[in-house]
């Protein structure tokens, strides 16, 4: 008897007038994680007399997600806390004044989309799906449809959806202390700082909430260092064309792409742009007022384009010669994404400052600006700050990420999976090239557009990103080979259709 046969056998045995959660049914059928699959099956192929519903409301009108026929399972302890008796795994809620809400009370995708358009600024080009839950590298929409995730929230969910260790770390901290200001010492913040400095090879860190904030800190740090040692006129920063460093007015100015500058002029002054992989272009952009060079080892938003190791070494040598700070934006490449904890370790070129975000928090907002020992005391009290930077709950999640991702065995597996994905991608139809490093990969197509391919992938159950003309893969670092193969099978189908 397969899983679904067991599900229907269990449902048929539910006594009249009783209610079972999808989670209870899934557990009894032998797969506690398959509550969504139970709900999806019962909606698609209902049994006579069985009315699947997504939610149950108690007599005070409070929503209780999860009863069946009403959605994911709810803990027995919570039921008992509400004064609801549990007998033989089934719950008779109606005798306690609870009522069932029918399927039509749940928002459809079109209703969700309409509310989004009515209430949220239209700054995002969203794919046509509303995701409700997930586990590992699999996400699910409201109907229970499964999506293999090759994007991990744009490189954020480094441990995948709802990793048990990460969830426990965050939940435990939230139950103790959710926030304090940086006027007070935070044990979990200093523990994260110590671990992050140790595994990254840097001396001090400042915590913010995003990659843009991390880059703002790096820019201020570079200018303050040069102002102290030389003069305030020495404030120019050279960045690379095709780069991306954030969406604040200053980090937009640092971004070497005109398309991001439109409509927001005047931008912050003090930036010049040079060609990547062209050291003469960089030298031409540097003058007596330059204080730093800022670059990405792999230009993620620019199309997943790595710089050469020779160029990286040449830039480091130029910075040493001119006493310029080398700033590496590792917002997307950092925290194991390229198979090393930070990408500079793959190049053997150590920057003076690195910025980090995205995968560092594992799903919660965090940014970090790390600096070498000579820069550790450049910023004094009151010169920089953040209300939410180093938040205890976020730091607890990040600490779990750093502890696990920094392990050599974990990073070795990232490298192995990255090679496996690359090899499989090169065998797919309509693939012109694969570039990138580790599990940060860009795919150039022979025919069709990346935008159309990504949309078709979503329709077929695969979440994938784009970067300019390329498909971009940033899967969870914990993705299994089974999930990789499942996602690549969908991608193969889509690319065949575009050929």
**CA 123 to centroid of chain Cα atoms:** 18
pLDDT at residue 237 in the model: 98
Higher pLDDT, 396 or 67: 396
pLDDT at 140: 85
pLDDT at 218: 98
d(Cα 462, Cα 134) in Å, to the nearest integer? 13
DSSP for 350-377, written as a single string? --SEEEE-GGGSSSS--EEEEE-GGGTT
pLDDT at 37: 79
Domain 109-162+409-498 and domain 177-405, same fold? Reply is: no
pLDDT one-digit tens code per residue, 466-495: 999 999 999 999 999 999 999 999 999 999
Mean pLDDT (the chain, rounded): 88
Could you state, in order of their start, the residue ranges of all structural domains in the chain? 3-105, 109-162+409-498, 177-405
Phi-psi region of 230 (alpha: psi -120 to 50; beta: other; left: phi over 0): alpha
Rounded distance, CA 209 to CA 94, Å?
46
For 166-182, how does the pLDDT look when each residue is reduced to its tens digit (9 = 90+)? 999 999 999 999 999 99
| pLDDT tens per residue across span 112-128 | 999 999 999 999 999 99
Q: Can you tell me the mean pLDDT for 437-447?
A: 97
The CATH architecture that domain 3-105 belongs to is Orthogonal Bundle (1.10)
pTM above 0.85, yes or no: no
β-partners of residue 404 are none
- Per-residue model confidence (pLDDT) at position 484: 98
For 177-405, CATH number? 3.40.640.10
449: left (phi over 0), alpha (psi -120 to 50) or beta: beta
Instruction: Give residue-wise pLDDT tens across range 260-319.
Output: 999 999 999 999 999 999 999 999 999 999 999 999 999 999 999 999 999 999 999 999
At the top level of CATH, which class does the domain 109-162+409-498 belong to? alpha beta
**Quick one: pLDDT band at residue 68, thresholds 50, 70, 90?**
very low
Q: What percent of the chain has pLDDT over 70?
A: 85
Is 221 a residue whose pLDDT tops 60? yes
């Amino acid at each position: 008897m397969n899983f679904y046969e067991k599900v229907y056998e269990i449902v048929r045995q539910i006594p009249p007038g009783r209610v079972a959660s999808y989670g209870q049914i899934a557990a009894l059928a032998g797969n506690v994680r398959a509550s969504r699959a139970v709900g999806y099956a019962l909606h698609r192929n209902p049994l006579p007399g069985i009315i699947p519903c997504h939610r149950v409301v108690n007599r005070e009108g409070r929503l209780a997600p999860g009863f069946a026929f009403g959605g994911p399972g709810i803990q027995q302890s919570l039921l008992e806390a509400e004064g609801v008796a549990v007998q033989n795994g089934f719950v008779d809620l109606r005798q306690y004044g609870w009522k069932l809400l029918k399927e039509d009370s749940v928002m459809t995708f079109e209703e969700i989309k309409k509310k989004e358009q009515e209430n949220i600024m239209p700054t995002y080009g969203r794919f046509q799906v509303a995701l409700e839950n997930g586990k590992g590298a699999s996400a699910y929409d409201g109907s229970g449809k499964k999506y293999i995730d090759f994007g991990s929230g744009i490189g954020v969910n480094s441990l995948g959806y709802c990793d048990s260790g990460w969830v426990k770390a965050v939940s435990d901290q939230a139950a103790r202390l959710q926030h304090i200001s940086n006027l007070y010492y935070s044990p979990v913040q200093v523990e994260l700082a110590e671990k992050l400095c140790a595994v990254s090879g840097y001396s001090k860190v400042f915590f913010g909430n995003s990659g843009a904030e991390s880059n703002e800190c790096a820019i201020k740090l570079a200018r303050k260092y040069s102002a102290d040692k030389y003069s305030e006129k020495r404030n120019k920063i050279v960045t690379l064309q095709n780069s991306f460093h954030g969406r604040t007015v200053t980090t937009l100015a640092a971004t070497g792409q005109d398309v991001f500058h439109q409509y927001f002029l005047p931008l912050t002054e003090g930036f010049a742009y040079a060609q990547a992989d062209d050291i003469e272009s960089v030298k031409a952009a540097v003058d007596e007022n330059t204080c730093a060079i800022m670059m990405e080892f792999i230009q993620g938003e620019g199309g997943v384009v790595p710089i050469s190791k020779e160029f990286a070494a040449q830039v480091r040598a130029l910075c040493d010669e001119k006493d310029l700070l080398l700033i590496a934006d590792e917002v997307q490449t950092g925290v194991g994404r390229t198979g090393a904890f930070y990408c500079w370790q793959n190049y053997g070129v150590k920057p003076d400052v690195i910025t980090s975000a995205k995968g560092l928090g594992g799903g919660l907002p965090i940014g970090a600006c790390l600096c070498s020992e000579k820069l550790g005391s450049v910023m004094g009290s009151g010169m920089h700050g953040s209300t939410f930077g180093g938040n205890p709950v976020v730091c607890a999640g990040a600490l779990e990420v750093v502890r696990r991702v920094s392990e050599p065995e974990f990073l070795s597996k990232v490298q192995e999976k990255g090679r496996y994905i690359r090899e499989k991608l090169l065998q797919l139809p309509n693939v012109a090239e694969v570039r990138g490093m580790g599990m940060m990969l860009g795919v150039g197509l022979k025919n069709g557009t990346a935008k159309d391919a990504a949309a078709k992938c979503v329709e077929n159950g695969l979440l994938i990103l784009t970067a300019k003309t390329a498909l971009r893969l940033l899967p969870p670092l914990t993705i299994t080979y089974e999930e990789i193969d499942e996602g690549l099978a969908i991608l193969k189908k889509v690319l065949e259709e575009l050929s």
